[in-house]
Amino acid sequence: MHYLLTPVGTAGDVHPYIGIGRELRRRGHDVTLLTGEPFRAVAERGRLDFVSGWSEEQYYAATQHPDLWHPTRGMRLVLSAVGTMLRQTYATLSQLYQPGRTVLVGHTLSFATRTFEEKSGAPAATIHIAPVAFRSVYLGPAVGRGRDISGAPRWFKRALWWLADRLMIDPMIAPTLNAWRAELDLPPVRRVFNDWLHSPRRTIGIFPEWFAPPQPDWPPQLRLTGFPLFDEADDRPLDADLEDFLAGGEPPIVFTPGTGNRQAPAFFTAAVGAATSLGRRALLLTQFPEQLPDDLPAGVRHVSYAPFSGILDRCAALVHHGGVGTCAQGLAAGIPQLTMPMGFDQPDNALRLYRLGVGSWLTPRKFTAKRVAEALGALLDSRETAEVCLRCRERVRALDAVAQTCDLLEQLA
């Protein structure tokens, strides 16, 4: 069979699909990855066929935009970009799709893939990397930074989701999506993020039940597998300098604002200040070193990239943006996590870490050296947090999420 994978986003979105694609390839299938040009090299190292869905210039223009990490304007920016690519992506899918042989594997934001499935009747699955994709009037996702409305009446939550769709989300994407769908003789979509984005044939959540317990009103076609954890560790070994740093003292605290974040000078200033205040070593991860303070103190090291699976089990804590892939790696390493959620799935992931007892969060406005040091000190001094982290580590490692996900995809064939 031929599997056509269409993730949308940064490394946290794309890497899980590459890990799944590599396993499908190992099982003897042909695999094509249709996504942004910056991921060509890692895809081809995994022997996946690669088709560029958008250029490096388009990718970096989005990651450089000042609105990207705003809690509402960021979503508008992303959905606008998705809307501009609908026709191009659909045309590429039409060229690559082989009836009777191709299975489509979409992403939460793969609206062109979801529409192609609807129009052609192609076998398809939607993979959601984070539980925020699933609304509920029971235990639902966070609706903002630290805003847990799970205890509110069900009628209130139902009304809140309706208002969010009507007044915020649909206006960002539905006009563009439906104008294009009309050209394909398809009916308009209302409440795009309510039910339509889930493939009716197979929807997969690549996170475990204990991280996000299934709710009675989640889609019946949903199956949960676990965290896939792919991070290029097999292809990009640690360099000697980093190995020496990790071995040269007490376990450092890792700070990273996300692979696509180019607007994090304040994050790194607070990180260095907190590490200095605590007297702890620190490892700063970013591909954009212009965000770092000019002079890093002794015991603070910067690297542009390091696979989490190769370093986190030798680190004391993880401080990050709350992306689900980073959360998963921290859970797999069994270390406490402090998050600074900004938008998208991040506030919900931060809340779930807090519910588990493995972490806490600070809003960007409160992410100062003093408060980061206080929050980290409390996490690192807590025996209860350490015990819960170790239990979560065992639960993550007990699952072969990639194999389970591929089993579900093979069933579609």
Distance of CA 391 to CAs 98, 209, 324, 351, 356, Å? 45, 15, 19, 18, 10
pTM (two decimals):
0.93
- For residues 332 and 231, what is the distance between their CA atoms, to the nearest angstrom? 13
Q: How would you write the pLDDT of the chain (413 residues) with one tens digit per residue?
A: 999 999 998 888 999 999 999 999 999 999 999 999 999 999 999 999 999 998 888 887 777 788 777 777 888 888 998 999 999 999 999 999 999 999 999 999 999 999 999 999 999 999 999 999 999 999 888 877 667 778 889 999 899 999 999 999 999 999 999 999 999 999 999 999 999 999 999 999 999 999 999 999 999 999 999 999 888 777 778 888 999 999 989 999 999 998 878 888 999 999 999 999 999 999 999 988 899 998 899 999 999 989 998 999 999 999 999 999 999 999 999 999 999 999 889 999 999 999 999 999 999 999 999 999 999 999 999 999 999 999 999 999 999 999 999 999 999 98
Distance of alpha carbon 398 from alpha carbon 331, whole angstroms = 12
- pLDDT at 391 (0 to 100): 97
* 240-397 matches 2-231+399-412 in CATH topology: yes
Which of these, 242, 332, 340, 335, lies nearest to 283 by C-alpha position? 242
CA angle 198, 148, 114 (to 5 degrees): 10
SS (H, E, C) the chain: CEEEECCCCCHHHHHHHHHHHHHHHHCCCEEEEEEEHHHHHHHHHCCCEEEEEECHHHHHHHHHCCCCCCCCHHHHHHHHHHHHCHHHHHHHHHHHCCCCCEEEEEECCCHHHHHHHHHHCCCEEEEECCHHHCCCCCCCCCCCCCCCCCCCCHHHHHHHHHHHHHHHHHHHHHHHHHHHHHHCCCCCCCCHHHHHCCCCCCEEECCCCCCCCCCCCCCCCEEECCCCCCCCCCCCCCCHHHHHHHHCCCCCEEEECCCCCCCCHHHHHHHHHHHHHHCCCEEEECCCHHHCCCCCCCCEEEECCCCHHHHHHHCCEEEECCCHHHHHHHHHHCCCEEECCCCCCHHHHHHHHHHHCCEEECCHHHCCHHHHHHHHHHHHHCHHHHHHHHHHHHHHHCCCHHHHHHHHHHHHC
The structural domains of the chain, with segments of one domain joined by +, span 2-231+399-412, 240-397
Q: Which of 118, 127, 106, 130 is nearest to 53 (CA)?
A: 106
Q: Which CATH superfamily is domain 240-397 in?
A: Glycogen Phosphorylase B; (3.40.50.2000)
| CA separation for the pair 356, 319 (Å, rounded) | 16
What's the CA gap between 95 and 239, in Å, rounded?
Answer: 41
d(CA 16, CA 400): 13
The answer to whether residues 319 and 337 touch, using CB atoms and an 8 Å cutoff, is yes
Tell me: domain 2-231+399-412, CATH 3.40.50.2000, correct? yes
Structure confidence at residue 39 (pLDDT)? 92
What pLDDT is attached to residue 346? 93
Which class for 49: exposed (0-12), middle (13-18), buried (19 or more C-beta within 10 A)?
A: middle
Upper half-sphere CA count for residue 328 (Cβ side, 13 Å): 26
